[in-house]
A and B are shown apart, each in its own frame.
Chain A
Amino acid sequence: MKISHSPAESDNKSLALTVGDQAKVYAARIRLQNAVDQADALDAIREIAGNLIGTEEVAVFKVDKKRSELWLYWSFGIDPNKHSLLEVRREPRLKQVLSGKPVFRVRLSTENLLCTDDPVNALIPVLVDGSPCAVIVLFRLFPHKAGIEPVDKEICGVLSNCASRAVEPCHSR
């Protein structure tokens, strides 16, 4: 179906977009907060990535005690053998993520966030008591999705603050 964008519809469009964005952020938060255990929390991350952001390639890396490397803890839709370990000294962007700030590949950018053949679109710190103890990595987006949008960044913020159950106990290396 072709969606029209006449000026008369502009108010409706922005309102519907706002409601749609709010609904996504709300659904992500409630889903994570209601996760019954670790497996369910990891499933919630997969659901949110696939249904709300637009990627079926996602991984969770845990941070080691020395904060020098990240090791693959869980993944969906990627080859785990290609991404078993990330060394912080080799990946300058990881330092920013480990300071608690997410990093995004900007719209239509060809820039790679990590030294990997697979394009990475977001690196999201998972905060426990305000400190990052894991990183959620979003790889390729769906082909029809142009890039990470403002609402996606808000959803990533929810992942950052509400996904701690998925990675407990915090340090296990």
Chain B
Amino acid sequence: MAKKVLLVDDSTTTLMMEEMILKQRTNYECVTAKDGLDAISRAVVEAPDLVLMDVVMPRMNGFEACKRMRTESSLSKTPIILVTTRGEEEYVEAGFQSGCNDYITKPINGFELVTLLRSYLGE
């Protein structure tokens, strides 16, 4: 069965790009959400194998969504990768404190994205 990835971003441009990269370079199934609140409800229903989530979003940001996902028993061990525009140390630290497993910076590099996801999900 194909591994399922939940892509979370308020930018349709980013979702389109991520989905296209993953569909062409992997056999992962993609589902999407447009903000942190939407992501939590989608994650509970879809039970993804990995969550790739933007940080800056309306209604609920990625840090908060990550923290809340960790309180859900079904999502407590799901790998969460945050997508940030900043690679500064304190910003990355805030991401790890929210419970994420890893981070990747924008603009996303296709090779880095695929390599990172494969390191968690395999081929």
Contacts and interface: CB of A to CB of B under 8 A. Distances in A.
Contact of A19 (B13, B88, B110): B110
A31 B107 contact: no
Interface stretch (A44-52, A66-74, A108-116, A132-140): A44-52
Interface size class of B (residues with CB under 8 A): 20 to 34
B1 to A, nearest CB: 24
Interface of A: 1, 3, 12-13, 15-24, 26-28, 30-31, 44, 47-48, 50-54, 56, 142-145
Interface of B: 9, 11-14, 16-18, 20-21, 24-25, 85-88, 102, 105-116, 119
| A contacts with B: majority SS | helix
A13 B112 CA distance: 9
| B contacts with A: majority SS | helix
Contact of B17 (A15, A27, A50): A27
Given A15-B25, A17-B111, A27-B20, 7 more contacts: A1-B102, A17-B109, A19-B24, A19-B110, A24-B107, A31-B13, A52-B13
Contacts of A56: 85
A156 to B, nearest CB: 13
Nearest to B119: A1
A51 B25 contact: no
